[in-house]
A and B are shown apart, each in its own frame.
Chain A
Amino acid sequence: MSLTLLNVIFAVVVAIAFAALNAAYLVWAERRGAGRIQRRPGPNINGPFGLFQPPLDGLKLMAKQLTIPGGADKILFVAAPVLSMFPAIMSFVTIPFSEMIVAHNMNVGLLMIFAFASSGSMALLFAGWSSRNKYAMMSAVRSVSQAVAYEIPMLITAITIVLMTGTMDLMEIVRQQGPSILHWNIFPLLTNSHNLLMPFSFLIFFTCTLAETNRAPFDLGEAESELVAGFHIEYGSMGFGLFFMAEYANIVIGSCLTTILFLGGWHPPLPFLGFIPGVVWFLLKIYILIATFIWIRWTFPRTTIYGLLNLSWKILIPISLFNLLLTAGLLKVF
């Protein structure tokens, strides 16, 4: 009993620390990566390779004033950044980093993560609405319409995985994808459904993850060219810092979920590589996905709101519905 308790506390603390550290150092990675792509050095003054930049940025943000605009709804205004961190940290609780490392496994883990992910847009709406600022208001409305538009194809695509595995337990989903790369859900050859459309499912899911995490080319919520900074325009100091951290924590969650559902979780790509611990493979996979996030951000310009909604409602949702029908049909026929 006491061992379980310790285990749980340890895991939760690790989850929070993991979220915070990741958020901080992803900013560094993002800036270095952007510098690389854009033929400039990026942060390189503070510490080796600019590695001290994130903690110093954090300290600087803490030493700034948290201004609350005169007309703002004070309670909601202060609550919004705190709320934005909630779903990110809550989702970490149920994510299996390896066979052993999971804070608390649930048999509806997938549904729980989706539930928390969609509550994230509530924080944006609170922030935008309570600021009493037109840009923030527009951004909040944009962000929410974007989040809801991409949640549908994301949910429907995840159903195909549930169909194939017959469970919503994240650990069980990963277990079924062993032992080699050919059993991962993205490659349909040796999985149990032989659905050749799974790579498309992966692409749809990845696109939705980009959109759900408000990343370029779908960063319409904080489109700095027209809405200045979007929903967090009136926030300074740690209010802004928390939104910023939440954004990166959400990216990590999105990558974790994509890895678990499609890329075989902690399983190595080839069985004989099993001597390397599962958590290493898991982290490797999520960081490759995050690097792709960064790469995409610095390559593509921003879409517009109608382009974004059209992509979801006219393309992704019909395709994912057809995909769902096909997967179910294949399961029934074979």
Chain B
Amino acid sequence: MKATAIEKICSKFPGIACREVLNYVEMTVQPEQLEETLSRLKLYPELNFGLLLDITGIDYLEYPVAQDCRFAVVYTIRNWRDNMLVQVKVPVPDPDKGVPTCTHLWSSANWAEREVYDQYGINFIGHPDLRRILNHWQFKGHPLRKDYDIFKGQVCYDSYSMENEIKNRLLANGVDETTMKDINTEIMFLNLGPSHPATHGAIRIFTALDGESILANVNEIGYLHRGFEKTAENRTYNQVIPLTDRLNYCSAMMNNIAYVKAVESWLGIEITERCKFMRVVMSEFFRVQDHLVCIAANLVDMGGLTNYWYLYNEKEASYDLISRLTGARLTSSFTRIGGMYRDFYDGWEHDMEVQLKAIEKGVSDSLALVLKNRIVHDRTQGTCKLSAETALSYGFTGPCLRASGVPFDLRKDNPYYNYESFDFNVPVGSTGDIYDRIMVRFEEIFESIKIIRQAMKHIPDGPIFVKDHNAVLPPKSEVYNNIEGLANHFKLIFEGVKVPSGEWYDSFEAANGELGFHFVADGSGKPYKLKVRPPCFYIMGGFHEMVEGEMIADAVINLGSINIIGGELDR
């Protein structure tokens, strides 16, 4: 972000403390100023912050520096057109009273505020449907508060009928049950999921049906919630890496890279050129894997089972390559702060080239089955459309946003790891229907392969670790042979990487969209708070917008086309 942009933002808000963090602006406002600040950010044409990325709470109970209020809420908002990012931080004097909602400005605030309420118990005044989202509805307490003991388990198993929610949604959609009674029919309330073949992972899609048409839809998530954020607060920075594997498990290493990139950006570590290229190669390779899984599963939902094997065979072979490199097929945990776990093995270029060719063949075979297939066109074109405005309002990022016609890609707009020097295109859809979402992913596979080929051509030799032994483990020879190396090793292993205290947000273009990490560091070796901004969560928040009015079979393929990954959705 350019300095002029920062000045532009600050000049619009006189009297509000603005400061520059990394490459964005952080504003601290008082609760009574919040509503006006947010609406200005959204509605002023020259600011136009249309994409609410994330809302998170912070509990300062155990923070070493004393704060005015125990709780704070942070809004992360982006203007994708001018590449401006702003964070608005508001202290919350009384969590039960809370802060005003911003659901009228951004639809994505609905689920985001529910999550803050669920995890921190902060109320949002005027929220239409404030209830738990990730934790079970019978859960007591708010787990991300610092006074909630991590070992305090609760057993909840009763399922929730969601009758009121769906009835409210029916009313909101203007469906009158009495007219249905007049013609002597009833609305069928049907659950798809959590234990259903169409829900990849465990999501509950609750629909009200008139025959086959969906009149109303509400969704329940959290079936795979395992407390990523709470666990991360009790691990050192490097120990969090294996946890990130389990976020989007289809592209595990992208999460690793996104996480260490976020930590490194605060530490100010400039990683070596070879490491940058390695990360580009691996993240693009995993982007291909993620898209292969998504398209394969989507076409299976459509009944085209043969595509599954054409795409999945190549994915399985790619996993063999990945396991040769990292030692694990799925959960690679391959990155470290300041570098990678190890360098490429000898002859990887050949293996990679063979694999890329195989992927190209598999994808082309599948495209041959799909591209001119009338049934596929009839089913996907014009179904479950989402306009660009609605998609932005719901906080969509990544391929799903690009399918709606918004050419926003962090690799182009906010390049990192020399992405600006690669030659690649960002495929964009036109209508935002299922067909566009599938085709954007197909195109991105070819673009990613292009990037990998370029990176393989230009990858330099050299070390993969920076020479900073406050962050990176010294080589084993030094550990065994001199006292300084041993001391570094000891300190890094026992205490973790010491990260200076502060708060920052950093993001990465993962396979599903913008994967962001919001950190609060207190100077120790463990993150004081770590909030993930998972792309799926917000995409799922807009699911009902896409499927209402469509058929039940369309809802199923729509769920496949937006690539919901339970691990990332529920954390």
Contact = CB atoms under 8 A, between A and B. Distances in A.
A301 B197 contact: no
Contact of A302 (B302, B308, B310): B302
Contact of A219 (B198, B303, B309, B556): B303
Interface in A79-106: none
Contacts of B552: 138, 226
B454 interface: no
B305 A225 contact: no
Contacts of B300: 225
Interface residues of chain B: helix, strand, loop or mixed (majority): helix
A38 B556 contact: no
Interface stretch (A19-27, A59-67, A304-312): A304-312
B197 A224 contact: yes
Given A38-B309, A134-B190, A300-B304, A228 B197 contact: yes
Nearest to B300: A225
A38 B303 contact: no
A303 B306 CA distance: 16
Given A217-B375, A301-B375, A304-B379, A225 B309 contact: no
B556 A226 contact: yes
Interface in B219-233: none
A223 B379 contact: no
A304 B551 contact: yes
B104 interface: no
A13 to B, nearest CB: 37
Nearest to B313: A39
A7 interface: no
A302 B380 CA distance: 12
A37 B306 contact: yes
Nearest to B211: A141
Contact of B303 (A134, A138, A301): A301
A225 B309 CA distance: 17
Interface in B350-378: 369, 373, 375-376, 378
A101 to B, nearest CB: 37
B280 interface: no
A301 B309 contact: no
B556 A299 contact: no
Nearest to B551: A304
Contacts of A305: 212, 551, 553
A303 B378 contact: yes
Given A134-B190, A304-B379, A38 B553 contact: no
A286 interface: no
A116 interface: no
A304 B305 contact: no
B309 A39 contact: yes
A199 to B, nearest CB: 20
A299 B301 contact: no
B278 to A, nearest CB: 32
Contacts of A226: 192, 198, 552-553, 555-556
B433 to A, nearest CB: 14
B196 interface: yes
A316 to B, nearest CB: 15
Nearest to B379: A304
A288 to B, nearest CB: 21
A279 B304 CA distance: 35
A312 to B, nearest CB: 15
Contacts of A228: 196-197
Given A224-B197, A225-B197, A225-B198, A304 B554 contact: yes
29 contacts: A34-B306, A38-B308, A39-B309, A39-B310, A39-B313, A134-B188, A138-B188, A217-B375, A225-B556, A225-B557, A226-B553, A228-B196, A228-B197, A299-B306, A299-B369, A300-B375, A301-B303, A301-B375, A301-B379, A302-B303, A302-B375, A302-B553, A303-B378, A304-B378, A304-B553, A305-B212, A306-B551, A307-B375, A307-B378
Given A134-B190, A142-B212, A224-B197, 13 more contacts: A34-B306, A38-B310, A134-B188, A135-B190, A138-B212, A225-B556, A300-B303, A300-B375, A302-B303, A302-B304, A304-B378, A306-B551, A307-B379
